[in-house]
């Protein structure tokens, strides 16, 4: 399989969001309170995950912008090892991240009200963000640009909140998924897979009226844009595929 380095920076956020990464991960070493910006961001991505899965990852994530705009042109863009996306590795990374975050936050929170509290709190998040930036960039350069996204703890957190949204039925009207709007037009050429940042197979959802349900999908829509036969579409879940059959013809 040949993986294409198709441009993924089609919006202003995805083109320049990486600036936020450098601002916090490196600027935060001198101005630690910049790390406090990550608190509302984490809450926001968790809420978006509840309603739209990993939509944040494919459309708003600053690290995603870094990987797509800066790392992708330099990356080897090779096949991601299956073990990197295995459940033990994903949940292991999540556990290590959460234990590390809590262990660093606990002594800082006990200093509430003291001079320098907000600087120390901000630095905890700056440190985590810097580690993610460095590890994610190394994986991106040596394997493929979005390798980190396979094990990102925040991505895993979004998967958790998304499942809660699905179980409660509260994301039925808000979720967006890739659909094969006319399976008969699909030639299974594999182009959607070759351009997919997560190296998934969207065409496999051809017989699933509920859409492409792989929880690794980041809803970036690149596969739909690059499909040469126009049979893929990033759509709201309450729109049935048969409403769009004519568009594919």
Helix axes 38-52, 117-142, angle to 10 degrees: 60
CA dihedral 15, 20, 21, 25 (to 10 degrees): 170
Cα-Cα-Cα-Cα dihedral sign, residues 127, 132, 137, 139? positive
Q: Identify which of 69-83, 149-163, 212-226, 233-247 has the greatest average pLDDT.
A: 149-163
Q: Is 101 helix (H, G, I), strand (E, B) or coil?
A: helix
Token pair for residue 70? 């800066």
65 Cβ contact partners less than 8 Å away, ≥ 6 residues apart: 9, 13, 14, 15, 16, 17, 18, 20, 21
Q: Give the pLDDT confidence score for residue 213 in this predicted structure.
A: 80
State how far the Cα of 137 lies from the Cα of 142, in Å rounded to an integer.
Answer: 9
pLDDT for residue 245 is more than 60 = no
Identify the band that residue 237 occupies on the pLDDT scale cut at 50, 70 and 90: low
pLDDT for residue 37 is more than 50 = yes
Q: Give the pLDDT confidence score for residue 63 in this predicted structure.
A: 97
State how far the Cα of 208 lies from the Cα of 43, in Å rounded to an integer.
Answer: 32
pLDDT for residue 19 is more than 80 = yes
Q: What is the mean pLDDT of residues 196-222?
A: 80
Q: What is the mean pLDDT of residues 203-212?
A: 65
Matching residue, tokens 């790392």: 71
Identify the band that residue 205 occupies on the pLDDT scale cut at 50, 70 and 90: low
State how far the Cα of 45 lies from the Cα of 154, in Å rounded to an integer.
Answer: 8
Helix axes 117-142, 87-109, angle to 10 degrees: 160
Cα-Cα-Cα-Cα dihedral sign, residues 225, 68, 138, 147? negative
| CA 131 to mean position of chain CA atoms | 17
Identify the band that residue 169 occupies on the pLDDT scale cut at 50, 70 and 90: very high
Does the domain made of 176-248 have the CATH classification 3.30.70? Answer: yes
Q: Give the pLDDT confidence score for residue 74 in this predicted structure.
A: 93
Q: What is the mean pLDDT of residues 61-71?
A: 96
Tell me the pLDDT of the chain averaged across its residues.
Answer: 88
pLDDT for residue 244 is more than 50 = no
Which of 77 and 43 is assigned the larger pLDDT?
43
Which of 142 and 214 is assigned the larger pLDDT?
142
Domain spans in the chain, listed from the N-terminal domain onward = 12-164, 176-248
Write the pLDDT tens digit of every residue in 115-124. Answer: 999 999 999 9
pLDDT for residue 176 is more than 90 = no
Full-model pTM: 0.88
């Amino acid at each position: 399989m040949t993986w294409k380095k198709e441009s993924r920076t089609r919006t202003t956020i995805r083109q320049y969001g990486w600036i936020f990464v450098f601002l916090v991960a490196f600027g935060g070493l001198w101005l630690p309170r910049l790390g406090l910006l990550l608190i509302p961001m984490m809450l926001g991505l968790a809420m978006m995950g509840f309603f739209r899965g990993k939509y944040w990852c494919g459309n708003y994530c600053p690290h995603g912008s870094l990987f797509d705009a800066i790392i992708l042109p330099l990356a080897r863009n090779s096949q991601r090892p299956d073990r990197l996306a295995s459940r033990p590795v994903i949940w292991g990374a999540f556990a290590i991240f959460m234990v590390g975050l809590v262990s660093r936050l606990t002594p800082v929170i006990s200093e509430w009200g003291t001079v320098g509290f907000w600087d120390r709190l901000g630095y905890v998040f700056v440190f985590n963000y810097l580690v993610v930036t460095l590890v994610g960039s190394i994986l991106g350069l040596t394997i493929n640009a979005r390798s980190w996204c396979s094990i990102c703890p925040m991505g895993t957190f979004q998967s958790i909140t998304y499942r809660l949204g699905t179980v409660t039925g509260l994301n039925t009207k808000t979720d967006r998924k890739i659909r094969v709007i006319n399976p008969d037009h699909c030639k299974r050429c594999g182009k959607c897979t070759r351009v997919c940042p997560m190296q998934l197979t969207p065409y496999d959802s051809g017989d699933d009226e509920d859409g492409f349900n792989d929880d690794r999908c980041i809803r970036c829509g690149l596969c739909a844009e690059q499909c040469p036969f126009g049979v893929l579409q990033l759509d709201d879940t309450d729109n049935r595929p048969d409403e769009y059959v004519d568009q594919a013809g």
